[in-house]
Structure formats: C-alpha cells, structure tokens
Amino acid sequence: MDKTNFSKWYDRYYKFLLLIPLILILFSIIYLGVFESKNGDFIHKDVSLTGGTTITLFDKIDKIQLEQALFEKLEDFNLREISDLITREQKAIIITTKESSEKAKQVLEEYLGHDLTNENSSIEFTGASLSASFYKQLLFAIVFAFILMALIVFIVFRTIVPSTAVIISAFADILMTLVTADILGIKMSSAGIIAFLMLIGYSVDTDILLTTRMLKRQGPSNEKLFGAFKTGITMALTSLLAISIALIIVKPFSVVLAQIFTILLIGLIFDIFNTWITNASLIKWHAESK
C-alpha cells in the first residue's frame, strides 16, 4: 500500500481505530478493579514495599536446591541470583521474605550448616509500617507529577481537546503498563514505582511533538501527521533499542536496574501504540473538525 492509498484508508478508518485503545483501557480498569479486590492493592509488592527480610549470601550455592529447601519453611520468599557481567560467574544469592530476620537466618543456617556472619552474608530488615509509609509517598509523588504534567500541557496548548488527548495517552501508557506488570507477576519494588515516574516523561514527549506539529504547522493534516510520525517513531525506536540493550546487560547482576528497564520497555511499547493510534486519531479528529 503506497502513501496515497494509505492516506485514503486512514481518512476513512481513523475514528474506528479509537475503539482499540478504548477497549484496552476499559479492560485495564476492570482488570485492576478485580485484581485490587483479590489482592488488596493494584500491584504485587516486594519486601521493600510490604516489609520483611532481605538476606544476601556470598557463597556459591545451587539456586534450585536452595529454593526447594526453603519452599515449605519461609513465607512468600523469592530468590535472585547475582552474576558477574563478563564471566557470568555467580557472585551472590538474594533471598527476600516476609518472615522476621531471626527466623529467616535460622532456616538458612540450618540448610547451609554454618552461621551467617558479616563476611559471608548481609541481612536487612524493613518494618511493615515504614514500608507502607514509603509506598504512600511514592504513590503521592506519581499522582503529583502526573497532575503537574497535565497542568503544563494545558498551559502550553491552551485548548481542551489536544491537551486532553495528550493526557489520555499518557494515562493509558501508565495504566496498560501497570496491568501488564501484574499479568507478568512482577513484584514491584520502590525502583519499579520510580520507573513509572520516569515513564510519565517518556509518555508525553512524542505526544507533544505530534500535537505541536498538528496545531502549529500549515498544510494537510495527514502530511503533518506523517511528518511527525517519522520523527517520533525514530525517537521511540532509539529509546527502545537502548533500553533493551541495557536490560540484557544489567539483568544478570542488578535486579533494581532490571526492573526499571523492564517497566520502561513495556511502557515505551504502549507509548508507541497510544501516541500513533490514540492521540493521533484524536488530534486528527480535532483538526478535521476545524
């Protein structure tokens, strides 16, 4: 299909394309509602947000055997292996659990057959009340950042429809990313929540580019839209490539960075969809009505 035929097809069906993000947004809202009713929150939280114990073992240990040994002895635990970036040699095993540090330490000492000391391990305990307070502060930061972003968008464009289209697209990015993280069973840490703060910035850059081109430049709406698409998709694919490479590199040895890059990667994929389907259709509809 050449550019002329695609332009005719797009002129005919761009309003119908809005049904796709509408269905996804409705599904996401319903899914989160059901998820919250079953789990008491909108996300799976790790011990940094629920409170619990984190023990890092510096010995070389068989992860699978350790996992089997701890299965019936520790409540809601998780094991992560840290490896050397180049040699892939195991450097540490991180165990997180909701159990107290005393019980977790006792169970591990029984399995290992020796005491845990400062030389062969690291033990951290986070209280539930402190974690809950920190979680609330992070959520407040996200909501506050989103409100500020929305205000800036309204100030810049000073028109309701284009500004609302940008905000809807950014909201959809965050909403769909959150649902995907829940479906994948990602246990969100404080780093994962911070990644959503970063995602707000990533979500609006191509939306603002598209809206600025459509409102400020002269010419047919499709020509302006396709011109913005060339620039915007280049920006998005460059970011996707960089984040994908970074995720592959850091995943074996940094759980924190791996979760941040995973959230950003999912969010950028949805950003491409919501920018060039959701926002593009809404802003074209607005331009055509003018």
pLDDT tens, 55-64? 888 877 877 8
Domain ranges in the chain?
3-45+129-289, 52-126
pLDDT at 283 over 60: yes
pLDDT at 84 over 80: no
Bridge-based pairing of strands 44-45 and 187-188 is parallel
pTM, full prediction: 0.84
pLDDT of residue 268: 94
Report the 10 Å Cβ neighbour count for 172. Answer: 24
Q: Is 281 exposed, middle or buried (0-12, 13-18, 19+ CB in 10 A)?
A: buried
Q: Nearest-CA neighbor of 111 among 122, 95, 98? A: 95
Tell whether the torsion through CA atoms of 157, 160, 162 and 165 is positive or negative. Answer: positive
User: Class for domain 52-126, per CATH?
Assistant: alpha beta
pLDDT of residue 1: 57
Question: Who contacts 55 (Cβ-Cβ below 8 Å, separation ≥6)?
Answer: 94, 95, 96, 101, 104, 105, 108, 116, 121, 122, 123, 124
What is the identity of the amino acid at 120? N
Q: Fill in the DSSP letter of residue 158.
A: -
Q: Which CATH superfamily is domain 3-45+129-289 in?
A: Multidrug efflux transporter AcrB transmembrane domain (1.20.1640.10)
Report the 10 Å Cβ neighbour count for 10. Answer: 16
pLDDT of residue 104: 82
Rg (CA), the chain: 23
pLDDT of residue 62: 78
Interhelix angle 221-250/255-273, nearest 10 degrees: 160
Domains 3-45+129-289 and 52-126 share a fold: no
pLDDT tens, 218-274? 888 888 888 899 999 999 999 999 999 999 888 877 778 889 999 999 999 999 999
pLDDT of residue 130: 64
Q: How far apart are CA 38 and CA 90, in angstroms?
A: 37
> Own/partner pairs for 29-35, CB < 8 Å, 24+ apart?
29/175, 31/179, 31/182, 31/183, 32/175, 32/178, 32/179, 32/182, 35/182
